[in-house]
Amino acid sequence: MSSSIKIGSIMGIPIKLHITFLLILPVFALVFATNPQPFGFADIGSTTESYALSLLTTILLFGCILLHELGHSYIAKSYGVEIRDITLLLFGGVSSMEEIPREPSQEFKMAFAGPLVSFIIGFALLGANIVAVTVMPAYQGTSIYLMVGILASINIILALFNLIPAFPMDGGRLLRSWYAKRMSYVKATHYAATVGKMFAFIMGIIGLLSNAWLILIAFFVYIGASEEDKSTTVTVSLEKFRISDVMTKDVISVEPEMTLEELSHFMFENKHLGYPVMKGNSLKGIVTFTDIRNILPHERYATLVSDVMKKDIISVSSDANAAEAFKTMTMNNIGRVLVVDGDNVAGILSRTDLMRLLMLSSE
């Protein structure tokens, strides 16, 4: 079952709601409904009216977050980067990009686009309130005035927060683009990640003394910085190698008519956990240990490989670099990928093969 629900598309980009967004929506509405002015609607009209205003404000807030992410995506698409989707979740929004531009100026523009959109929204709403009060003094203090003020303030705070020079915030990418003009991309990422970890440490100390939420944010920042540093190092290192140099060329295949009981013994004997499924010279799918482990032992005698195999085959070509295979595995959350040239299965490549290559190359 997917953890995200597609609600539409903008600029050809699928927009999704993560299950955590559906959980946080009523929480945000409750916070706005139980706080007084200027941060909520507790003292505005009836309880029903305050909750309705709070829910509307929450929806508009996440609409602003969506515009923030579309700012990133618009610039990225202009540089030819594919955007798989934008997902709204617990802590905001995430644009799933095929890759981050390596050119420092391009990464700078892409990273700054999101905060710029938030600044524009925030100051535009703030200006709208000021103009409206000047023209109609009675407007001040109304529920609409309060809602616009809350959205303006949060958008400005969101922009400032995202400019903190720490991954995974936009400020971390801005800092890396600045470093990347002066050193290699890997070293620039490492330096930017180190700065991010320092911010996380300071934020965690402040959180211990004042606000527990800062501890959670600090943990989020530290993990984000570490993952960005590690994934960039791995990707750049793997770009030096071709898939044909790493893959297993002697591919062992299985037939679709094989039972899962036979397949489990076959896996044990051959010491591999994934196999292409072939009918003659025709590739039908791929089957892995994950596909059979949830099948009860007594059911494996009557269940065929064709019943559980994945027919939507994810593959790479042998002349691509190893980083492409790593990216494909990561994006699709799989442990191995078939190497297919034309209609022929040229080999198979696992995540373990790539990790072993990294270890050997570092030695």
- The domains found in the chain, sorted by start residue, are 1-163 (no CATH), 165-238 (no CATH), 243-362 (3.10.580.10)
Nearest-CA neighbor of 232 among 174, 280, 188, 166?
188
Whether 312 shows a pLDDT value over 90: the answer reads no
Nearest-CA neighbor of 75 among 42, 92, 97?
97
**What is the structure's pLDDT at 91?**
60
18-42 b/e with 16+ CB inside 10 Å = b? beebeebbeebbeebbebeeeebbe
Grouping H, G, I as helix, E, B as strand and the rest as coil, residue 103 is coil
Q: Show Cβ contacts of residue 303 under 8 Å, excluding neighbours closer than 6 positions.
A: 259, 260, 295
Token output for 86: 């934008």
* pTM for the predicted model, two decimal places: 0.76
pLDDT band, very low/low/confident/very high, at 109 (cuts 50, 70, 90)? very high
Contact 243, 321 (CB under 8 A): yes
pLDDT band, very low/low/confident/very high, at 1 (cuts 50, 70, 90)? very low
**What is the structure's pLDDT at 156?**
93
Mean pLDDT of 343-356: 82
**What is the structure's pLDDT at 50?**
83
Please indicate whether residue 69 is annotated as part of the active site.
yes
**What is the structure's pLDDT at 285?**
84
Inter-helix orientation angle 322-332/351-362, to 10°:
140
Mean pLDDT of 281-303: 82
Mean pLDDT of 10-20: 81
Overall residue count recorded for the chain in this entry: 363
Better pLDDT: 131 or 98: 131
Q: Are strands 344-350 and 83-89 parallel, antiparallel or unpaired?
A: unpaired
**Mean pLDDT comparison of 23-32, 85-94, 221-230, highest-scoring range:** 221-230
How far is residue 44's CA from residue 56's CA, in Å, rounded to a whole number? 14
From the candidates 69, 107, 228, 324, give the one annotated as an active-site residue. Answer: 69
Grouping H, G, I as helix, E, B as strand and the rest as coil, residue 276 is strand
**What is the structure's pLDDT at 92?**
62
Whether 248 shows a pLDDT value over 60: the answer reads yes
